[in-house]
Amino acid sequence: MNQLNNNLFYAINHFAGQVQVIDWFFIIAANFSPILLILFILYRWFFSKQLINSRQRIFLAGLSFVFAELLGKIAGLLYNHPQPFVHLTGVHQLVNHAVDNAFPSDHSLLFFSIMSLLFLTSQSKYRSLYLVSAILVGLARIWVGVHYPIDVVASGLIGFFSSSCILWLNHKLAWLNLINQKISHFLLPKFSQRRH
């Protein structure tokens, strides 16, 4: 299993450092994706065309992230390893990173827990872009040399599981649905109040 994980890491990471434009794309995705995600969420919270629906989904996505973080911490206690650049040779490390437990990938966990829920609740024909963005962030963390593939895969599974659980709870628990309704209507802009 470790050998397969290492081989997959090298298969992705060995492309790093060859094309500067691609490297910069993955560096931005690896380092600054949380900031871009926050800006995206703020836009959807305040300016979405379907504001109430968008806020309800964002609230559930936030819960999904919190639950995924809890599961991620438990997973990290059960299995841990440092970043690839600690033990492997020939790693193309494009960004600085502290040495700590790399399992699971926090950046990937953030994106998969939120984007999976948005994907599962979206009716848009472009909803697959939610998952594509999460996959790109996970790939970026491998590309820049700070995570193994197993770190990203685990984050994806935890994120999708977390999203599914939160959606199930939202359907089963009336009080959770009520809180969601209240929060989504809180400080609703006047133009949206007229539409709803």
Over residues 145-156, the pLDDT tens digits come to 999 999 999 999
Q: Using the predicted structure, report yes or no on whether residue 17 has a pLDDT greater than 70.
A: yes
Which of 43-47, 126-130, 138-142 is predicted least confidently? 43-47
* 195 located within any domain: no
Q: Using the predicted structure, report yes or no on whether residue 39 has a pLDDT greater than 50.
A: yes
Q: What is the CATH number of the domain that holds 155?
A: 1.20.144
* 146 located within any domain: yes
* 175 located within any domain: yes
CA 94 to CA 101: how far, in whole Å?
19
Measured in residues, the chain has a length of 196
Q: Structurally, how many domains does the chain consist of?
A: 1
* 196 located within any domain: no
Name the packing angle between helices 106-121 and 149-172 (round to 10°): 40
| Residue 172, domain extent | 2-188
Q: Using the predicted structure, report yes or no on whether residue 196 has a pLDDT greater than 50.
A: no
DSSP state of 97: -
* 141 located within any domain: yes
pLDDT confidence of 187, banded at 50, 70, 90?
A: low
* 193 located within any domain: no
* 18 located within any domain: yes
* 157 located within any domain: yes
Taking residue 37's Cβ as centre, other Cβ atoms within 10 Å add up to: 18
Q: According to the model, what pLDDT value does residue 73 have? A: 96
CA 86 to CA 143: how far, in whole Å?
15
pLDDT confidence of 52, banded at 50, 70, 90?
A: confident
CA 193 to CA 88: how far, in whole Å?
57
Question: Percent of the chain scored above 90 by pLDDT?
Answer: 74
CA 100 to CA 86: how far, in whole Å?
10
If you average pLDDT over residues 149-166, what whole number do you get?
A: 97
Q: What is the pTM of this model?
A: 0.89
pLDDT confidence of 72, banded at 50, 70, 90?
A: very high
